Each structure stands twice: as structure tokens, then as C-alpha cells.
Amino acid sequence: MFIDEAKIHVAGGHGGRGCVAFRREKFVPRGGPSGGDGGHGGSVYVESTEHLNTLIKFRYNREFEAGRGGHGEGSNRHGKDGDDLTILVPVGTILYDGSTGEKVQDFTAPGQRFRAAAGGRGGRGNARFATSTHQAPRKAEPGEEGEEHALKLELRLLADVGLVGFPNVGKSTLISRLSAARPKIADYPFTTLEPCLGVVALDSDRSFVMADIPGLIAGAHEGKGLGTRFLRHVERTRLLLHLLDVAEQSGRDPVEDYGIIMKELDSFSPTVAGKPVLLVASRVDAAGEGDRLLALREFCRKSGQPLYEISCVTGEGLEELKQAAWSRLEQIPKPLPEADEATEGPH
């Protein structure tokens, strides 16, 4: 099950309290205060990993608390510090403050670590309060409470190429032909209900990640169809492959479909609509008289856009499309990871 949103509550461990104690040893008539400090509470960290690709682990487990610090003891013994807690999330996860909605961390690479809730400081024992004029203090501090925060987690897939288009234009079939991904494929709308990633290899040294995004329809940016839930996964991609169905039995106008989808992308985010796009005529093996394909060719000629004609049934044009996508990616600089300045949690 693909889960790309979750809400969790994190809490740092409570600091241990300081101890009030005095040395009572034989032959030490004036032992003095010997209460040790309490241990510090553990902190909660969030760390990104390549070994997860969904937030499903947070569906039922939403409360995370680090270990509390041990209490101080006599003979100036310090309480044990609480154990830290590390929460693993997929690369591509964004953390938001659950109260303000402010973005606090974006995990764009594996191994990034962020302190989401600091543990409380341990209280000082009475030995820390001894002075030359107050040699037998009976004062100790309680431990401080750890930080607590509500966080919203949002996963946005990291892929080089995103497949967009209406439902049932052949996106899932294409990714299954070009990679080892095996999405569900059927002849009814909205077969794809969750994004699917696949690695497309050109040779041993060249490969890129492709994402199959569930189909869009007119009004998707307003919540129609599958709505905007999956549109945000396109934001991370560098290149879009826009599939247009030219099959005779589809009854669709590929030129009109192109305008509708681009309008939906622009309504969702002008940045997404401005990404480089390769137009792909899908199902050319079923084009029949070819009226739809001819109209699309004419549209591309007038707009100055190259058109890649493919058939996932016969394999026609697939190798050419892979090479074209790679060549286009070579011209698009990879986004630099955001500076990992935020090592503390929200305040």
C-alpha cells in the first residue's frame, strides 16, 4: 500500500531529577553534599534512507518518544542519559510543523539527519549548589521536560522522468516495457492508483528513474478524478513524457488532450507546467487510418516540438524514446540538494 502523507507526534525524553544526598562515611566528619545530576533526556531524530519508499509505517504508529534520563544518585553519581530515538523516512520526505504548516526539513538525499525534538536537560544535584557560605544545601532541580512537536510528513517521489497523461493512454505499459517495474495494467480508467517507480537502463553506465503518475483528467487541480494528491510527485522530476493516445478506438483527440493536461499542470503549478516535455504518440500500432496521428504530427510541426511515436505492443520507437529522454536529461542540470542547515526541530 502506498502512503504518501502522515501525521506524527514526537517528544524528547524527560530529564532526570537531581539528587539531594550527603556523604556519610567513617572518618569523614564533614562529608558535605554528594547528590549527583540527573541524566539528560534522549532526543528524537528523523533520518532519510533509501530502503523505504512509502510512509505506511506511520499509519498506525504515530507517537514517538525518546528515553527519559535517569535520576541522579548519591556519591555524585550522574543519572544515565536517555536513549535517542531515530525515525527512518524515505528519501523525498518533507517535514512540516503540524501547528504552523511551515516546512522545517526536506530530505533530498539518503543519510540526512534532523533533530525533531530535543530531550530535556537533567536537573542539578545538591552538590552543584554548595558554596563557601552554604556548605550543606538541600536543594536539587527537577529535570526539564523534552520538546514536543506535531509533525506532518509528506512524501514526494524523486524521479528523473515523470509520465503524465489521461488515464489509459499506456503509461503503465510503457514503464513495464522500459524497466523492471510491474504496475497493475487493465483496460478501465484509473487502473493506476499509486505512483510507480522504475529504473530505465540504457547500458551498464547509463540509467535514469522513471515515475508512472496516476492519470489526470480535466479539473484534476480542483480535486476531480484522483485530484492533486499525485500531482505533487511530478514536482521532483526533471523531464516529463506526455503520452497521447492516437489509437482509433480511443475516440480521443490527442491535440485537445494535450491542451487539457497542460492546463491542469499549469493550474496546479506553473513551475511544473514549465518543465521540459517530450510528446509521445502512444499505441501507433492501433492508429487505424491515422487521422489522429496525422493531426498530432501537424500540431507538433507547427509548435516546433519533436514527436516520438511508440507502440508498447510491437516495441516500435521504444529505444529511440529512451535515448531521447537520456539526451534531454543530459541537458537539464540536476537540482542541488538544499543546504542541510536545519539540525534543530521546530520551535
- Ordered by start, the domain boundaries in the chain are 1-155, 161-331
Percentage of residues of the chain with pLDDT beyond 70 = 86
CATH topology of domain 1-155: Spo0b-associated Gtp-binding Protein; Chain: A, (2.70.210)
48-57, 111-120, 301-310, 315-324: least confidently modelled range: 48-57
So what's the pLDDT on residue 339?
Answer: 43
Task: Identify the CATH homologous superfamily for domain 161-331.
Answer: P-loop containing nucleotide triphosphate hydrolases (3.40.50.300)
Q: 26 Cβ partners below 8 Å, 6+ apart? A: none
Q: What span, in angstroms and rounded, lies between the C-alpha atoms of 61 and 85?
A: 14
Instruction: Band the pLDDT of 251: cuts 50, 70, 90.
Output: confident
Is the pLDDT assigned to residue 155 strictly greater than 90? no
Is the pLDDT assigned to residue 219 strictly greater than 60? no
Is the pLDDT assigned to residue 265 strictly greater than 90? no
Instruction: Choose from 33-42, 132-141, 164-173, 181-190 the range with maximum mean pLDDT.
Output: 33-42
The answer to whether the 1-155 and 161-331 domains have the same CATH topology is no
Q: 21 Cβ partners below 8 Å, 6+ apart? A: 33, 34, 35, 36, 73, 74, 75, 125, 126
Is the pLDDT assigned to residue 102 strictly greater than 90? yes
Is the pLDDT assigned to residue 337 strictly greater than 80? no
So what's the pLDDT on residue 341?
Answer: 40
Which run of H or of E encompasses 273?
A: helix 270-273
The residue whose grid cell reads 524514446 is 321
Let me know the angle formed at the C-alpha of 50 by 55 and 183, rounded to the nearest 5 degrees.
65
Instruction: Band the pLDDT of 273: cuts 50, 70, 90.
Output: confident
> Region 95-114: what's the mean pLDDT?
93
Q: What is the pLDDT of residues 34-85, one digit of tens each?
A: 999 999 999 999 999 988 878 888 988 999 999 999 999 998 999 999 999 9
Instruction: Give the neighbor-by-neighbor strand order of the sheet with 93-97.
Output: 63-65, 5-11, 148-155, 93-97, 103-106
So what's the pLDDT on residue 232?
Answer: 73
| pTM (2 d.p.) | 0.70
Mean of per-residue pLDDT scores for the chain: 85
Instruction: Band the pLDDT of 328: cuts 50, 70, 90.
Output: very high
Q: Which residues lie across from 48 on neighbouring strands?
A: 89
Is the pLDDT assigned to residue 160 strictly greater than 60? yes
